[in-house]
Amino acid sequence: MGADDFTIELDGLTKSFPDVRAVDGLSFKVARGEIFGLVGPDGAGKTTTMRMLAGVLAPDTGSARVAGYDMTRDPEGAKQHISYMPQRFGLYEELTVDENIRFYADLFGVPRSERETRAAELLRAAGMAEFRSRLAGKLSGGMKQKLGLVCALIHTPEVILLDEPTNGVDPVSRRDFWRILYTLLDQGVTILTSTAYLDEAERCHRVALLHEGRMLFCDTPENLKGNLDGAVVSIVCAEPRPVKELISGMEGISTMMIVGDGLHLVVREPERLIPELRSRIAAAGLKVDSVEEVAPSIEDLFVEAVQKKKGERP
């Protein structure tokens, strides 16, 4: 790819606050028409990175270019080409859905004829066409987030920056939200989104896994899962903590984490270890539904990388 194929470019971006380096030498590029995810827990540096790319916050060192503009020298020039949706997007709750959209369309100078067509398309994609006259303050949390996205997209930006847009949103609204994002790809819009939901990484073309301001990995979800140093064994059980305590320290287990329905272990020799795990669990009289090898997830890779970084043993 040439330089013109990238709409977001970071090189050594760094930002510190008292007692913490929030972003530490971050470098990556995002191609035109790509969905790129910044993935990591609270404190990983996602919001600080978004704010620097939106021109809201100046970096200490390093550089960032968005839509062809140097964000340290000309952040104002980039703003007509960017939509930034922070965690608390500024909807006006005393205005209706239509009135909020109209406000943001006027803010970005969108002609009335174009605004009506664009709003109808976005509201239909969001499943909100029948709520145009409802006050924003009367919408559910998920619908408010979808309305925020509609407002952020009303002027068809070249780049959209979304800071944890689905945080606390119900599963149906999350699905609708992602459906809207996918409709933008044919228009060549570049999407940078951040999330603490590791399963959402699977929806991105590429992701950067962040931890304490640094990038651990950057690749496609499929390639990232191939970086896992071992196989994943799932133990499905109603009470995972006693099982975890029982098998903690067993040779051959690299990392271990509690998931919703049990445990995930990263192991070296699953064909040898699985029978041993079953035997030890049965001998202890603990009840489990299954012990079997499963396909790795982004979450498995992230937990293993963080635990190795900290030098922790399962």
| Topology of the domain covering 3-224 | Rossmann fold (3.40.50)
The answer to whether residues 157 and 83 touch, using CB atoms and an 8 Å cutoff, is yes
Say what the pLDDT of residue 82 is. Answer: 92
- Quick: pLDDT tens for 10-62: 999 999 999 899 999 999 999 999 999 999 888 999 999 999 999 999 999 99
Give the number of other Cβ atoms within 10 Å of residue 57's Cβ.
17
- Spell out the CATH class of 228-310: alpha beta
Say what the pLDDT of residue 107 is. Answer: 86
Say what the pLDDT of residue 240 is. Answer: 94
126 SS3 class: helix
* Alpha carbons 83 and 55: distance in angstroms, whole number: 11
Tokens for 84?
């930034």
Say what the pLDDT of residue 299 is. Answer: 86
* Extents of the domains making up the chain: 3-224, 228-310
Query: What does pLDDT average to over the chain?
Result: 90
Tokens for 230?
């071992």
* Alpha carbons 91 and 84: distance in angstroms, whole number: 13
Q: What is the DSSP letter of 115?
A: H
Which residue numbers in the chain have pLDDT < 50? 2
The 3-state DSSP composition of the chain as helix, strand, coil percent (nearest 5) reads 40, 30, 30
The structure's pTM equals 0.84
Say what the pLDDT of residue 18 is. Answer: 93
Sheet holding 69-70, edge to edge: 20-31, 6-17, 61-66, 69-70
